[in-house]
Amino acid sequence: MTSPEAPLLRQTNVLKEAADESLLTDAQKDARDAIRQHREDGARFINLHGPRHAGKTFLCWVLHLSEGWDYYQTGSKSVDTPTVLYDHGEPERRETRKLRNQASINGLATIVYVTDRPADELYPRVELWPEDEHYQQIANTWDDLGLDTENAPTPIQQ
């Protein structure tokens, strides 16, 4: 018997394996460039935020592969690189304050904290709030990868 999550798992695996800067949409490239600039400017905490299905996780996978930054779906107690991507974070102040403690304990230089709305802490923020053409670019990529474009993100899902 096949799990109902099997198609989603396959889709996720295909996207994760294909993650490459050449597949970023224009909105994702703008967000990537802003993250890099904040990092170059010495920001220790950067909040990448935007609606569900905007492509934040895919951008994180690309940054993980292209920059060598650690990627975690949630906070981790042990990290191996000075720059860490924490996906699916909670934007509340009590959660973001935990990041400050973790950065101090683990000697992290930069944390990119990914949330669905701006974090309450006043970190430099990078918004990924794409226009309709972004979703068309995603659908084209999904088609090229052999994924069912009926399940591709759309602005309506926000």
State the pLDDT at residue 98: 82
State the pLDDT at residue 110: 84
Measure the CA–CA gap between 136 and 88, rounded to whole angstroms: 24
State the pLDDT at residue 63: 96
Nearest residue to 128 via CA among 40, 25, 36: 25
Burial of residue 148 (number of CB atoms within 10 Å: 0-12, 13-18, 19+)? exposed
Ranges in the chain, pLDDT < 50 = 1
Neighbours of 5 (CB within 10 A): 9
pTM of the model: 0.86
Per residue in 39-50, pLDDT tens?
999 998 999 999
In the DSSP assignment, the letter for residue 22 is: G
Topology of 39-145 in CATH?
Rossmann fold (3.40.50)
